[in-house]
Structure 1
Amino acid sequence: MLRRLGEELDILTCPYNVAHQILRCRFQVHLVRCRKSYPDAEVVVCPFDVTHRINKQELNWHVSSCPKRQSFEVFKSNETPTQGVTASICTSFDSEGTQHNSTWETANTSFQLETSQNWDNLPNVPSYNPSAYAEKANVLRAPVGMKPAQRAAFRNAERKRLQNL
């Protein structure tokens, strides 16, 4: 890769192996591949950004200070962000005195967005069958995976089919 004099590359360190130095544009691909090499690593994915991989012990701290959390908070509340203001965690306690972090709990649940579409009410349409289409279309078909006698019979049937079209 060529770079101009004085221009710095944006290089990140892999959370699975600190010896891996990766360009930011290739980082997400590297994480997927490197995860396969380290299946026993105690690394979890941040709920706000898939490129943030954190040790299990540091997850609660990271969730409270993740820079991508503000965009999640804005999405959740449908408000416009105020410049220079960071989102805060809403802490609540239940009847047993257990502390709950509403941002973390919301990040781990799926959203149900309101929509006017109902995919259960769609008409029953058969799926596309390419073999059935090719039998009726003016296209050449090849006898794939057939024995010699079957290939000869297929070719004869194809000649007749194409003459009738």
Structure 2
Amino acid sequence: MFKRVGEESELLTCPYNVSHQILRSRFQVHLVRCRKSYPNSEVVVCPFNITHRVNKQEIDWHVSNCPNRQSFEVFKSNESQVQGLTSSMGSTFNDDTNTTYETANETFELETSQNWDNLPRVPSYNPRAYAEKANILRLPVGMQPSQRAAFREAERKRLQNL
């Protein structure tokens, strides 16, 4: 069933400007845009949920009472059970990279099993190189008339050779 726009569950208050009332479905987009309008605000991001923005003075309390902390703790305990398993080739799934989050009272270490620095090097995608090899029609955009004529002739030859 459809919810009415005025219902409390649909509207959220912006942490940067309390006069902003945003639909829940648009809240993340609004946070990014509104943060640019208030660059000197003392609002920090919760380490457990990116949509949680709290004042710098309240971050210690929020981190200890965040409702998403429980799901992180469950994930962390499940991940520790998976670590140490070996694959059929004998390698161990144990690439620990840790992120440290410090508050005034405590230091939290967020453990993950992913390390993007260890991934193999892959060349970036070059659309021009792909288009030169593919059977597609390219258009001479932004060229002078003599360049367009030369480009069209080169395209005819290229497409005939494919």
TM-score range (shorter-chain normalised) is 0.5 to 0.7
CA distance in 1: counterparts of 2:50 and 2:114, whole angstroms: 25
Q: Paired residue for 2:34?
A: 34
Q: Which amino acid aligns with 2:7?
A: E
Matches within 5 A, 1:43-122: 43-78=43-78, 101=106, 104-107=107-110, 111-113=111-113, 119-120=119-120
Residues 8 and 132 of structure 1, relative CA distance in 2, 3 Å threshold: closer
Q: Which amino acid aligns with 2:76?
A: K
Deviation track 1:22-51 (CA, whole Å, cap 9, x = no partner) reads: 222222221111111111110001111111
Q: Give per-residue Cα distances to partners, 1:54-78, cap 9 Å, x unaligned.
A: 1111111111111111111111222
Q: TM-score, normalised by structure 2?
A: 0.66
Larger Rg computed on CA atoms = 1
Runs of 4 or more above 6 Å deviation? none
2:140 aligned to which of 138, 143, 146:
143
**TM-superposition CA deviations, 1:76-130 (whole Å, max 9, x none):** 2228xxxxxxxxxxxxxxxxxxx963xx5124xxx34179xx633x7xx765544
Structure 1 length as normaliser, TM-score? 0.65
Question: 2:48 & 2:67 partners in 1: Cα distance?
Answer: 9
Structure 1: stretches of 5+ with no match in the other structure: 80-98
Do 1:16 and 1:41's aligned partners in 2 also have CA atoms closer than 8 Å?
yes
Structure 2 unmatched runs, 5+ = 80-103
Contact conserved, 1:13 with 1:20, CA < 8 A, in 2? yes
RMSD of aligned alpha carbons: 3.0
Q: How many residues align?
A: 133
Deviation (angstroms), 1:139: 2.7
Is the 2:60–2:105 Cα contact (8 Å) retained in structure 1?
A: no
Counterpart of 1:40, as a letter, is N
Name 2:82's counterpart in structure 1.
none
> Is 55-64 or 22-31 further displaced after alignment?
22-31
User: 1:127 and 1:20 mapped to 2: Cα distance?
Assistant: 40
Q: Residues 134 and 62 (structure 1 numbering): CA distance in 2 closer, same or farther, change over 3 Å? A: closer
Aligned to 1:8: 7
- Percent of counterpart pairs with the same letter? 71
Question: Any conservation in 2 of the 1:13–1:22 contact (CA below 8 Å)?
Answer: yes
Q: Is the 8 A contact 1:9 1:23 kept in 2?
A: no
- 1:53 deviates by 0.8
